[in-house]
A and B are shown apart, each in its own frame.
Chain A
Amino acid sequence: MEYSTLSAVDIRERVVRGELKAEDLCRAVLDRIRALNPQLKIFLAVDEAGSLAAAREVDRKRAAGEVLGPLAGVPITLKDNLCTKNFSTTCASKILDGWKPPYNATVVERLKAAGAVLMGKANMDEFAMGSSCENSAFHPTFNPWNPAYVVGGSSGGSAAAVAAGITPLALGSDTGGSIRQPAALCGVMGFKPTYGRVSRYGLMAFASSLDQIGPFAYSAEDAALLMSVISGHDERDSTSAEIDVPDYRAQLSGGLKGLKVGLPKEYYGEGLDPEVRAALETAKQVWRAAGAEFVEVSLPHTEYCLAAYYLVATAEASSNLARYDGVQYGLRGEGGHLLAMYGATRAQGFGPEVKRRIMLGTYALSAGYYDAYYKKALQVRTLIQRDFNAALKQCDLILTPTSPTPAFKLGERMDDPLTMYLSDIYTISVNLAGLPGLSVPCGFTSQGLPMGLQIIGPAFAEAKLLQAAHAYQAQTGWHKRRPVL
């Protein structure tokens, strides 16, 4: 069955009308995974039994005339840092190889309740630390548009699953750009909601004050559909916001007319690839023609974002990852006494980037350096937040590039951590400020690699971001292009 260009909205409607059996679709997805995964290496684990059972349940419900959920029969891919009960969840780390969580993440529960068919777990940078998926302890993932190039990261497998037409939807997590950057590099839409919009219960923590779960899709309409399912307060995540969740799909038709769009001059300076710059220029003309008005804004502390981010994120990570000690679950190393066992477990279980970040974070929090590094970074975070607050007083939305460059070649940035960190230069500030950010495809390079633009908005203005992206997509065909596979 050829299904790979069907949208989630389409699939659900066909299932509801009885034109498509969820089980047949599920089998087609499993076939496609079998055909493509050996070359692209997107999945770490495929849940054949679980997905087929979920699909059959949708078919049974339809036959029995029961109400079908908003994602009935829709196949979806999950990043492997989302806990799935009794099903492998590794964070792409050896320390959790073979682990099966005893509970589901809240988003997983919500997807199941909505009738979604969970196909399996996608590759990622180990513990979501990386920008290329090359930090996976198991294998890298290859870009569907050109396998010599990276998929981005850390949610690279999720982005690639959608780009390759395996599942129309996927979930990832974004701490400094980990949804938006791989979305841009794979030519799909990636949405990091406002901090607190989606429950983080069951998302393995990297940096708790920055992490947020969000969707991948080809279209704004599909992303909106998924957003309405996963958003909302959860008593198991005290940082999830008690703010009503709108029907995002019903609110898509706002358009770009009369919208005041801010262009932060700091995001269009040095270091921006000429082809990405040109694609943004073309996109701006489309926005302008659709009635948007541009104003220049300033985010004066932009050049300090990366430094503040790497201190805050690694400090939180060093604390969060202390739990992987070989006592309760996962890998246990050999050691004659408890401390030796901890040290051996973590030495064997963590890869080089995770160790590097634990070291940096531990250093930044250690006695004598706390004020100079961690406290300073938290103060700069305040200044960055104030920049955004001031800029968003002058405009409705902010438009920037998502990533300074298109996808780079595998291996190209692995020797220099700082250069790799610069892949996230336009996205990390959004996490520091806690705002929603969305990447939408905006063109292709002369090499045929996709590029993305980023839309940033005020806290909890998800509907507005999706409206803008939807209106832009109505004027362009970028999101309809598919890689030849």
Chain B
Amino acid sequence: MATITIDGKEFDVDDTENLLAVALSKGFDLPYFCWHPELHSVGACRQCAVKSYRNDEDDKGMLVMACMTPCSDGGRFEIDDEEAAEMRRQVIEWLMTNHPHDCPVCEEGGECHLQDMTLMAGHTQRRYRGPKRTHKNQDLGPFINHEMNRCIACYRCVRYYRDYADGDDLRALGSHNNVYFGRESDGAFDNEFSGNLVEVCPTGVFTDKTLGAHYNRKWDMQNAPGICNHCSLGCNTSPGSRQGVLKRIQNRYHGEINHYFLCDRGRFGAGFVNRDDRPRQPLVRNADGVLEPREMDVMRDTMEEVFAQANGVVGVGSPRASLEDNFALRHLVGADNFTNGMAPADSAASVAARDAIAANADRLATLREVESCDAVLILGEDVTQTAPRLALSLRQSRRNKHLEHAAANKIPKWHARAVRDIGQYNNSPIFSATTSATRLDDIVMTPQRLRPAAIAELGFAVAHALDNTAPKVEQLDADTQALVDAIAETLKGAKKPLIVAGTSLGDPAILKAAANATKALAAANEATRLFVTLAEANSLGMAMMEERDIDHALTAVEDGSADTLVVMQNCLYERAPKARVDAVIKKAKNVVVLDHSMTRTVGEATHVLPSGSFAESDGTLVNNEGRAQRFFQLFIPDAPMQEGWRWAADLAEVAGNKPEWLGMDDLIKTIVADCPQFAGIEDAAPSQSFRKFGMRFPRSPHRFSGRTAMYANVDVRERRPEVDPDSPLAYSMEGYYGEQQPPSTIAYAWSPGWDSNQAAITRFQDEVGGHLKGGDPGIRLFAAPGAAAEFWAAEVTAVDGWQAVPVYHIFGSESQSARAPAIAERMPKPEYRVNAEAAKALGVTAGDSFELAVNGETHAFPLAIDPSLPDRTIGVPVGMHGVCGLRLPVEVKP
């Protein structure tokens, strides 16, 4: 700690921080460009000049850059100093000389850090009359728009893209005055986290192309606190909408999860909400086999008939739907007839994940904590494709070695360039065993390519090497044993080791191996951490609610114990082989589907009810660390579309099983009463009746415009403001917005003088880049340590012959985002992958069309050679192009 004086006020501050971070944390308005809470200081832009005084006698002082000034004890600084203010004004005037006159046609306008800083620094009149520098733009693909003229050369983009996200294809090209930030040629960014450039760039050089396609200013958008539903990590998002159209996804700061950054799937994957082919009316299949829209009152009678005639009803839940939606379906069909909607392998792995999480509740790393782990072992998971944001955190974890070197040499941790230079290529160790090459291989020490069973064995062996009471793996070859010993040695020597495992290979043994390794390691090191990833946004929640997988529902129809299927936001074809699903749908008397997208199951259903997507619903999702988080309705959809749980409640009523709950709060209380494992979810967000100073919390910024005109073409009389019956948020700009708001209800980030998302959030944090005031949102359901768990037996199911393993891709393997036009454009073509020897054995060459039957489902795709795959292993693309229901890994006979 240190005591410093800023503008005559004394503060006790953290002496490992720099002056700029401290001044911002303490609420001062000090302009900056090149500094960023995650990218730290380089002192390049000279915008944060302040006066520093040597001692009390010093009355002249000297100008220093706040971002490069340590907060040493006794320091005296003036931000509000005439000379410093003049310097800041001149610097921004000089940065602005070439800035084009195009704010009105710039997507950044209204949330532009440059606009904010120009005003803050007091540069209000342009004096430069000379010619302005111009640049040609590049086509950067479907995600990002490029307008290079607006660049002020702060270098934040390359510092984020190259130094933080380890991307390679964005560079500072050219020299001196001609410096240019772009790729060598047109094309989409290679890195999976390129979307963050939109928020990192302080001007409008990189803007969101999906927003530009139906643009609105920030102040005109209706936002809601959202939770990303494209993987299990539960990153917080702030979706924006206007007039019932989802416009964009922005990052919503969460100090324990995503903090400032999202992955591209999360940011650009929400376009499915705006698709025209979504079911928006209740549909019934007529005699000709065509789905026809029905009026609500007719539909009510139809559904009454369906349930009256039903001879056994089974419900198929969904790991991509909220707890509320699933629970309401469970109530409709009865707890005994409810299934979790996951494929058997996925369900078994998710249950194993749940057990591993429960047993290591006190050792679970948050996504943020991953960044501080200094040795990592990844078991089986290609995290870039299955839990993308984790890959970005793992990339930061390797930099702990740099920080270690820096600390030894008395270099402050915020001195970005110096820390990098002293760190060089000395990275904290990351070990990884996956089925094929991954995008993290550049930072992994001797990446291992193994079959799923061998990955689990490796994990068990590491556990045994760490603690010889852990079950032993027999018959390891010498090379593997040497590797196991090296991994064990490194993990043992680390200050904070981390084990990462996931369910993507559908093999519970991998999760058991990870749990064993964590337990073995934790005996020696209290700081040991475990990070488990699951398949979908609510996979863990579903594993907690119900262990019966989708097979039970299909079997019930097959053996005649049920003839009516009710499916909640799930596609049967994604979870089971096509032939079997076809047969089940044919055999069932009625298939009722409640969904928001035009899935294949909707296409085959007899009755369809249009349920809301995440944008049209409230709900609770349980992320991979067992954190229950609430997402809020972004806009009220046009009737009859409504939340899945409202449909299920309506159906229960016509089925003669009227639920007792009335609204969201009631429903959550019922969930907790019925399923005590979810105790705590009621605290994930304040109840509907919660008010601050008697007020709700606004969804829209205070300058939301056009309210008396936007619907005037329909009716000149203004509509009655919509009322939210489910949450304390308001569908307007009215209410309390500020620091004392519960963090889970902050729909967007803004504070006076700070319009850009990443800078405005500072006022809501306890310190810059720290936690949100009032605590980061969400309730960890596994906070209490589980019972002292035993080691799992080292049992693996190995396949001797040819084996098909899943190959995931960030764009396409997740079914909801795959429907977003921008993501669809980036989806790779489907292909089978084998190594060169396997191709020879199969008698095929690269590019040949190759036919493969998996679980009785045959697909023909071109073959690609992937030298990283193990022998006799075929990589199968999953989740897209119709290859959904395959249950992998599995033995195949090509």
A-B interaction: no
Q: List the interface of chain A (C-beta within 8 A of B).
A: none
